[in-house]
Chain A
Amino acid sequence: MSRPVSYQEATARERLQQLFDADSFEEFLPPSARVISPHLGQLNAPVAFDDGVAVGRARLNGQTVYTAAQEGGFMGGAVGEVHGAKLVGLLRRAVQDQACAVVLLVESGGVRLHEANAGLIAVSEVMRALLDARAAGVPVIVLVGGANGAFGGMGIVARCANVVIMSEEGRLAMSGPEVIETASGVEEFDARDRALVWRTTGGKHRYLMGDCHSIVADDIAAFRAAAAQAIATLAGQSAALSLSALEAEQQMLEQRLQQFGQLRDPVEIWSTMQIPDAANIPMLDVESFIATASKRRMGA
């Protein structure tokens, strides 16, 4: 076994290099094409030559998949007009070429607020393109393991996918911790309490709540194996979002609200779910956690 390589600490391009077969990533609109944000320059802000996302195709165990990786180091992976258009173009191209899957390496705080409406529209177009891809039979797999997590519009995009794979370090939610604290007060949510932030938005809670489908260690090889397994599992199924799946989801959310709506902390939720030694859940390594959680989690 080779030494684990942290997914969280890698850049978007390092993830693409190591997640897929060696040197198989073929980029569409590479940095040398210089397709940059038309808005940031007007605001006297720095630009990136790829606008913070690399899109293209690569091979996973010899199978061609379409992929995008958001760079959290550039403006927290936020989605601007060009960034969003690249994601939309990738998803449309995957449909056109009838790709066997799209793998999105999501790391984003959501809409790039500098670009205002253009960024908002871009994110909604990504959602539509993702659901169009699913309707056309192309499954979408989302990986969440970067330091910036998947928040705001990209949190929604992630939950539109067929499968979400997370590490404990990855975070997935709608409003970020600071946003909740600002809007509702520190009594509601203390954004500086990092343990609370990870208990609430981190991979373990998402796995227990049924918001992500598998949880892996912070290791690029583990993400690779989980993505390959998800593609194999999805191969025999319909990728499209169905009415019955939506209704089941709605039912699960109603049940969650009913059972847990009055509770103050994820540990209370885990206790209510009869998870043994709930307070110790954050301390478990990923294997022990899965052994404890996989049979008791929601949607199991």
Chain B
Amino acid sequence: METLNYRFEHGSRALTAQPQVVGVVGSGNLEVLIEAAELDGACSIEIQTAAVGFGAIWQAVMHDFQQRWQLANARISINDMGATPAVVSLRMDQAVQTMLGDAA
């Protein structure tokens, strides 16, 4: 297992709703827990992944995610079992869309 942490400052989109979890920790899949948290406008992401040594790819996927959503005061926690980058991106979008509903 490997733990990765990312933090993106100065987001603009606030989350107010209840925490949401999407996805399942199964082979090639992941779960994404998204919560509102007081983080000085930042979005923090903590990843526990079974696939060790892919930090550079996670960095790129997380950067793209934050470019798309610009989340502020959001805490995202991920349990990953070897999902591909495309699956990770889709799950993370699903998490935000589930939380924001029509506002997404």
Write out, one digit per residue, whether chain A residues 18-59 have a CB within 8 A of any chain B CB (1) or not (0).
000000000000111010000001001111111000000000
CB closest chain-B residue, reference A48: B25
Q: Which of A41, A44, A47, A74 contacts B24 (CB under 8 A)? A: A74
A49 touches B81 (CB 8 A): no
B residues within 8 A CB of A44? 1
Given contacts A44-B1, A46-B80, contact A74 B26 (CB under 8 A): yes
**Binary A-proximity of B1-39 (CB < 8 A = 1, otherwise 0):** 100000000000000000101001110010101010000
- In the complex, the chain B residue whose C-beta lies closest to that of A12 is B24
Asked whether B1 lies within 8 Å of A73 as measured between CB atoms, the reply is no
Q: Contacting B29 at CB < 8 Å: which of A34, A41, A47, A73?
A: A73
A46-B21 in contact given A31-B33, A32-B33, A32-B35 (Cβ < 8 Å): no
Q: Given that A32-B35, A73-B26, A73-B29 are contacting pairs, would A46 and B81 also be in contact in the complex, using a CB cutoff of 8 Å?
A: yes
Residues A49 and B35 in contact, CB atoms below 8 Å apart: no
The answer to whether A47 and B79 touch (CB under 8 A), given A73-B25, A74-B24, is: yes
> How near does chain B come to A53, taking the closest CB pair, in angstroms?
12
Chain A contact residues, majority secondary structure: loop
A54 and chain B: residue at smallest CB distance? B21
Instruction: State the Cβ distance, B30 to closest chain A Cβ, in Å.
Output: 9
Residues of A within 8 Å of B80, CB to CB, are 46
Would you call A46 and B19 a contact (CB within 8 A)?
no
**A11–B26 CA distance with the chains assembled, in angstroms:** 11
Kindly report which residue of chain A lies nearest to residue B34, judged by CB atoms: A32
Interface size for B (C-beta < 8 A) is 17
CB pair A31 B21 closer than 8 Å? yes
B77 within 8 A of A: yes
CA distance A213 to B77 in the complex (A): 42
Residue in A closest to B77 when the chains form the complex, CB atoms: A49
Q: Do A11 and B24 contact each other (CB < 8 Å), given the known contacts A46-B81, A47-B79?
A: yes
Q: Are B21 and A50 in contact (CB under 8 A)?
A: yes
Asked whether any CB of chain A lies closer than 8 Å to the CB of B50, the reply is yes
Q: Tell me, in angstroms, the Cα distance from A41 to B21 when the chains sit together.
A: 20
Q: Could you tell me the distance in whole angstroms from the C-beta of A120 to the nearest C-beta in chain B?
A: 22
Interface 1/0s, chain A 50-83, versus B by CB < 8 A? Answer: 1000000000000000000001011000000000
Chain A residues within CB distance 8 Å of chain B: 11, 13, 30-32, 34, 41, 44-50, 71, 73-74
- A-B contact list, 22 entries, CB within 8 Å: A30-B21, A31-B19, A31-B21, A31-B31, A31-B33, A32-B33, A32-B35, A41-B1, A45-B1, A46-B1, A46-B25, A46-B48, A46-B49, A46-B50, A46-B79, A46-B81, A47-B25, A47-B79, A49-B33, A50-B21, A71-B24, A74-B26
